[in-house]
Amino acid sequence: MKQAGLLAATVVGGFWVSSGAIAQDNGPLAPLEAAATASLGGPASTQAQLEQDRVRRLQDSRWPGLDAALDPLEASRQSFADRTGLNLSFDYQAYYQSATDSLTDIDEAALGQARILGQWTLLNRGGENPGQLVFTLENRHLLGTEIAPGGLTGQIGYAGVTATTFSDTDTTLSVAYWSQTLANGRAGFVAGRIDPGDYSDILGYVNPRTTFSNFAILFSPVLPIPDPGFGIAGGGYLTDQIYALGVLSDANGSLTDVEWFPGGPEFYKYAEIGWTPERSKRFLTNVHLGVFHVDERTEAGVPESYGAILSANHTINEEFMIYGRLGWSDGEAPIARRAANAGLMWRPGLYDDLFGFGATVADPVDETLDTQTTMEAFYRLDLSDNVALTADVQHMINPGFNDQDPTVFGLRLRINL
């Protein structure tokens, strides 16, 4: 029944989608394959996350009773989307972290994050070039601790971020943009309030809600990605295998303040050219070269920065994904001047369970600091189509502002409906 449901689903996503582009099998990589054709952005982008969750709900899990109980709700929502073009989803994340070797008396943090994700097809619904309004409204709130996981960095003296996207920002409109597909699915753009991290140096494992948590593992620390702000991103396939994309966004973007370029015309710019064997494999096997430039931020007192990143990942036998990055930067905006990342992810064949390990070696922009090494490992336990529990551990060597080498333990719950 779930296989039939997957084949019957015909909701067309945003970028680079043509009729029949939705994944045509029920294998473990079907969610990522479907998401790769549904969005110009990475796996964590709103459009890609909606598609991954949709396909995942059609697969088997450890808790079929819960899956069956929620089937009527999911069918009703799908029927509503088919009638109106408005695809809505809800997810909730709860994340707890505990650290060793804190510099203060605070060594734990916990945060809850509730989100409504929406994609409303208003133009050419069911056609080759749909136009959609895409948005994410979220609330982040402390869960019984003094600080959020995003603030734990300061307590352990680490030059980085141990919990990407898990800061205490209350209620925010994270993104709200127009998504337009062009050239019969071969190209497209987004414009509005965007998250530039969704379109910068993307490999198929980059999702802080379902894989790693540390910024230096998810991205290269040479890349100074600003918070969401007004901007535009676009791209397309030059051939069946070679693509190009770029993003121009407010360098002073803020999650909490929805303002029109509050620091004036100061921009973050990123562009890449890449290769993938086919469109649906963009998240699974990919090689790309990216370059970036950030204007001087006058009010913030940060000079201009620029740099380049060479990134690649490859998926083997639907079980292993290996990845690597080399990055270089010049200027004061990034965390690191030079960095190398490498890691792997493994699907052990137990429903949607996933194991990951990554390591990053980086030379900080502050030349008085030693070379810093960050390591992270996680295991995501698939409980049902809608519930996943992830345990992770991070270890930092020469963290920047701590003579000790702290370890951070984390536990993350995600529910999607």
pLDDT of residue 307: 98
pLDDT of residue 25: 53
pLDDT of residue 126: 86
Do the Cβ atoms of 266 and 279 come closer than 8 Å?
no
What is the domain range of residue 404? 2-416
pLDDT of residue 128: 86
Do the Cβ atoms of 94 and 416 come closer than 8 Å?
no
pLDDT of residue 60: 86
pLDDT of residue 12: 37
pLDDT of residue 127: 86
Return the ∠ at Cα 185 (arms to 182 and 189), rounded to 5°. Answer: 45
Contacts of the segment 299-306: beta carbons below 8 A, 24+ positions apart:
299/252, 299/263, 300/252, 300/263, 302/332, 302/333, 303/331, 303/332, 303/333, 304/331, 304/333, 305/224, 305/329, 305/330, 305/331, 305/332, 305/333, 305/334, 306/330, 306/331
Q: pTM of the predicted model, to two decimals?
A: 0.92
Provide the residue type at 322 as one letter: I
Give the chain's domain count: 1
pLDDT of residue 185: 85
Q: What is the pLDDT along the chain (417 residues), one digit of tens a residue?
A: 454 343 333 333 444 443 333 444 578 899 999 999 889 999 999 999 999 999 998 888 899 898 889 889 889 998 999 999 999 999 999 999 999 999 999 999 999 999 999 999 999 998 889 999 999 999 999 999 999 999 999 999 999 999 999 999 999 999 999 999 999 889 999 999 999 999 999 999 999 999 999 999 999 999 999 999 999 999 999 999 999 999 999 999 999 989 999 999 999 999 999 999 999 999 999 999 999 999 999 999 999 999 999 999 999 999 999 999 999 999 999 999 999 999 999 999 899 999 999 999 999 999 899 999 999 999 999 999 999 999 999 999 999 899 999 999 999 999 999
CATH number for 37: 2.40.160.10
**Which residues lie closer than 8 Å to 103 by C-beta, 6 or more apart?**
155, 156, 157, 401, 402
